[in-house]
Structure 1
């Protein structure tokens, strides 16, 4: 190759020019590649904070602020008030009455309408009116005699009105009669005052209480109409 160049001096000049152009081109490529790499690195650095910022914003949105977290409401220490329409067994077709009071308390009030005394007033009461008693009778507090129960709950304000009405019924029901002023008619008046649908009173106590529940769709709560009581 050196001999050819000595014989042809022009080739030497061309070779030098080609080498110079190659070095210049290589330098230009390197110099142009450096800004490209620099721009790529800069774009990656710019992209990382952006994605990190979005991730932090997403986590912040998903995590509620401490001030937004509300403590769970504490359950009331005692439950609502109630009236429990009940039926139990008896010597003949049974007896209907009510329990009423406050859930969570063992003490209950009992109200019902029954003939006062032994079997004689009961037998006569199927013909004429006889003196009555309106408190607890034998078996009213014993669960073993229970045949039906329908319990309805009330607020404290409504319970005061209903309980007062029950006591008035006890005070103003001096007579008992099997066909008219009987135990089912007595608890039926209480149910009507509470806004419940009451069945016809000439049913056996167990049937009456079950029918009372059915007519009211088994509802568990009662709210008195404004001005009631």
Structure 2
């Protein structure tokens, strides 16, 4: 974790602004990851449509669609789990949960959010403050558990796959273990929970995820393709 120099004052308002901006960018990224998951499942869970499309002139486009949505989801998930790096945490271009953890650990920052919760536009000042404090603890615990889990470490497997196959072209003498599709779905669920905790901490925002919209839209596409090229027999 990057350390703040002892003789440098923390500009808490600047850090608060940075955290709120990071939350917005992370939320956009996770919404995109959720949408890509839904459109991927729209094709792969509709078995009849999947077989029909695979045997149609649209098969190549379907393959590109399938690979691109899965790769996009992996990139989004690994992005929000990026480590802070060596730069100043309030200036880094990485806007991730570990960066937010580093910013929350700066002197006075977490305390500022707890105190700010008392001023929210309701009559639950002290209760709001307690809840923000609890959410900070849960956020830190969830992130630590995801980073340090054993047998297998799902986030690490997904990142290794990204490094080897998407972002770079790395080669290893020994074949690395690959993530399963369920690992990607599971880690997506974990980062959704982290997003909910962070949103409440920095803005008191309760997230209501939009569910099913991308799935319905993608299903219409593949149903139309399957109807245009019905399977014989």
Shorter-chain TM band: under 0.3
With a CA cutoff of 8 Å and minimum separation of 6, indicate the structure with the bigger relative contact order. 2
TM-score of the pair, normalised by structure 1: 0.26
Q: Judging by fraction of residues, say which structure has more strand.
A: 1
Larger of the two Rg values belongs to structure? 1
Q: Judging by fraction of residues, say which structure has more helix.
A: 2
